[in-house]
Amino acid sequence: MTDENKNTIKINGKAIAVIVILLLLLVGTFGMFILGYSDSNLGSVAQAGGASGDMPEKCRLPAGQDVDSWKEHLGHHSETQDCLKYFN
């Protein structure tokens, strides 16, 4: 074996895949903090009760619906108009 072969590192495809996956996880995890992600980006739900568990189930924003259309929907129904107090 020559000295040149002793000083080289052999990296196979599995090692490269593991390194790439770890880098993606690292960037994804810390990227939110670097880019300034915060709870204020979640919509205009009032801090007093919108993000916590004290909002009644009938008032909670369904997944995939935007806040403005949900507020409009709540305002059309007399039984859910009291839900509007949870939104700014």
Provide the whole-model pTM: 0.40
Q: What is the domain count for the chain?
A: 1
User: Where are the alpha helices (H) located in the chain, listed in sequence order?
Assistant: 3-6, 13-34, 67-76
Instruction: Write the pLDDT tens digit of every residue in 65-84.
Output: 888 999 999 988 889 889 88
Q: What is the mean predicted confidence (pLDDT) over 28-55?
A: 60
- What is the identity of the amino acid at 16? I
Q: Is the dihedral of CA 49, 68, 63, 75 positive or negative?
A: positive
Instruction: Write the pLDDT tens digit of every residue in 4-37.
Output: 667 777 889 898 999 999 999 988 888 777 776 5
DSSP, collapsed to helix, strand or coil, labels residue 82 as helix
Containing structural domain, residue 60: 3-86
Phi, psi of 61 (to 5 degrees): -70, 120
